[in-house]
Amino acid sequence: MEQVFDIRDFRLCQRGVCNAVMDGRDVFCIMPTGGGKSLTYQLPALLQAGCTLVISPLLSLISDQVHQLHQLKIEADRIKGGIPEEYRNNIYRRLRGLVNRHLLSPDEKEIKLLYVTPELICRNASFQNILHELAAHGKIARIVIDEAHCVSEMGHDFREDYSNLKILRTQYPNVPILALSATCPPKVLAQVTKDLGLRDIRSPNPHRTLYFASPLYRKNLHYAVLPKPDEKSKAIHVMAQFIMDHHPDNSGIVYCLRRKDAEDVARELVKVSSGKIKAGYYHAKRSEAEKEMLHTQWRKGDIKVVCATIAFGLGINKADVRFVLHYSVNKKSIECYYQESGRSGRDGKNSDCILYYRPQDAMSLFSINETRKGGRENVLSMITFCEDRETCRKIQFAQYFSDSSELAWTSERDDGRECGHCDNCNRSEKEKKKEDLTQEAWKILQVVKSAGKREAPSMKQLAEGLKETVRLSIQVRRQNMLVL
């Protein structure tokens, strides 16, 4: 391990996962972003015969992983769309060489790690034939499914082709599977395990899937939810000031809800800072060449701040990100927010995770998630997180992930203790205010009920109706006081 990877000691649950993998068991591992998931299959791949097949959702992530392995002089390769046919056929030949050694030249080494996308697994007949041949001769050491939460519709990054990976257990029942994820709440964990054809982790069967979870809490990340100004220009100015005051020369990410916001925020950050903040934007509508160029500029430090939608997500691996700002509340879920914010501080140094929130954003989130499975519940959880001005952010995450990460949180010696450095931990008692809004809630329900009898009311109509109800309520109170 030290000789090849320059790593002296295992971190978190790496040792246990590696041992289980070497024992040929099915494994489900939840480890935080930057926790070292890759080592849990790359190290065993070098120690076992055959080729380890790694399924990953993003081409950029695949390219980064293969590049890093080549630098370590490890025999790894990738098959993805757009590669020359000659290059693809050469990989096919080398894979068949695992069964028929004469297909390889005397000095040619076997491929130890092969990275592919789920699309190739499900749609490419030629590749499927090669896998059948390798499996029949016991030459597939293991199948690794990275970002396994993408399998489930309840996951925050659901991908259609990932849901078809259930064929792997059916077609290759004797090949062990390692499922990896940084975030996997209880329902998602159960669904992914079932969809992949893995035995239940709580089954009494001695050959059940082994479950490992590392502490999700990362003490170097400092969380805060700050009020977001109503005007767009003021909100951007606040972020620009924060960056210039606290991270003038650091790399960071600003997540935005919409593509236009990403473009506007990037442009305004440069303008407001008089060019001191070097920012660019990233979203799904940009060409692959533009996205790749921006990613490269950011990695090299030519661009310091990437303003992006959720498209700038899986596979982002830069160790020295010092801050992740959310210009808007995450539109999907707390686990999605946790994973995005977790892209900061991978080198273990202190980093800021700031979410700018205003209650008005909640309604747009409800409309966006109206048709999504579990969308309403996810939005409510996210709003509860933002509105809570008392509970430590570490404890909030622990409560949300409690079932899926039971081992992760109870393994922390200070499990129930507050982090001591988030916004709520640093908030004075005077700032902590509890209000009884029961009467206001009843008034809102009465207005909605009354308006709903005619037609579906707009937010403006509801607001006006509520104002009128409150006005009449105040008027009645004053009259009662005069009578007394």
For residue range 27-82, list pLDDT tens digits in order: 999 988 777 889 999 999 999 999 999 999 877 678 778 988 999 999 999 998 77
Burial class (CB in 10 A: 0-12, 13-18, 19+), 192: buried
Q: Are residues 147 and 236 in the same domain?
A: no
Q: What is the pLDDT of residue 25?
A: 95
Q: What is the DSSP string of 371-424?
A: TSTTHHHHHHHHHHHHH-SSS-HHHHHHHHTTTTTHHHHHTSTTTTS--SSSTT
Q: Are residues 360 and 279 in the same domain?
A: yes
The upper half-sphere exposure of residue 44, i.e. CA atoms within 13 Å in the direction of its Cβ, equals 27
Flag whether 474 is in a domain: no
Last residue of one domain, picked from the residues 398, 427, 456: 427
* Residues 304, 248: Cα–Cα separation, whole Å: 9
Flag whether 438 is in a domain: no
CA distances, 11 to each of 16, 215, 224, 358 (Å): 10, 11, 27, 38
* Residues 28, 40: Cα–Cα separation, whole Å: 11
Low-confidence ranges of the chain (pLDDT < 50): 404-414, 481
Flag whether 17 is in a domain: yes
Q: Are residues 397 and 421 in the same domain?
A: yes
Last residue of one domain, picked from the residues 163, 190, 213: 213
Task: Please report, for the domain that includes residue 205, its CATH number.
Answer: 3.40.50.300
Q: What is the pLDDT of residue 333?
A: 82
The predicted-structure confidence for 119-155, as pLDDT tens digits, reads as follows: 888 888 899 999 999 999 999 999 999 988 888 766 5
Q: Are residues 126 and 98 in the same domain?
A: yes
**Is the CB of residue 127 less than 8 Å from the CB of residue 306?**
no
Flag whether 466 is in a domain: no
Q: Are residues 180 and 279 in the same domain?
A: no
Q: What is the pLDDT of residue 414?
A: 45
Q: Are residues 252 and 387 in the same domain?
A: yes
Q: Are residues 266 and 186 in the same domain?
A: no
Q: What is the pLDDT of residue 68?
A: 86
Q: What is the largest CA-CA distance in the chain?
A: 104
* Residues 45, 257: Cα–Cα separation, whole Å: 39
Q: What is the pLDDT of residue 153?
A: 64
Q: Are residues 161 and 267 in the same domain?
A: no
**Is the CB of residue 64 less than 8 Å from the CB of residue 315?**
yes
Q: Tally the domains of the chain.
A: 2
Helix/strand/coil (H, E, C) string of 247-306? CCCCEEEEECCCHHHHHHHHHHHHHHCCCCCCEEEECCCCCHHHHHHHHHHHHHCCCCEE
What contacts 18, CB < 8 A, 6 or more positions away?
Answer: 10, 39, 40, 43, 44
Q: What is the pLDDT of residue 334?
A: 86
Give the pair of three-digit tokens for residue 441.
Answer: 């809630």
Flag whether 450 is in a domain: no
Q: Are residues 231 and 86 in the same domain?
A: no
Flag whether 467 is in a domain: no
Q: Are residues 58 and 187 in the same domain?
A: yes
- Find, among 117, 58, 122, 118, the residue nearest to 288 by Cα: 58
Q: Are residues 273 and 391 in the same domain?
A: yes
Q: For residue 45, what are the domain limits?
A: 11-213
Flag whether 172 is in a domain: yes
Helix (H) or strand (E) holding 121: helix 118-123
Q: Are residues 49 and 140 in the same domain?
A: yes
Flag whether 374 is in a domain: yes
Last residue of one domain, picked from the residues 427, 443, 475: 427
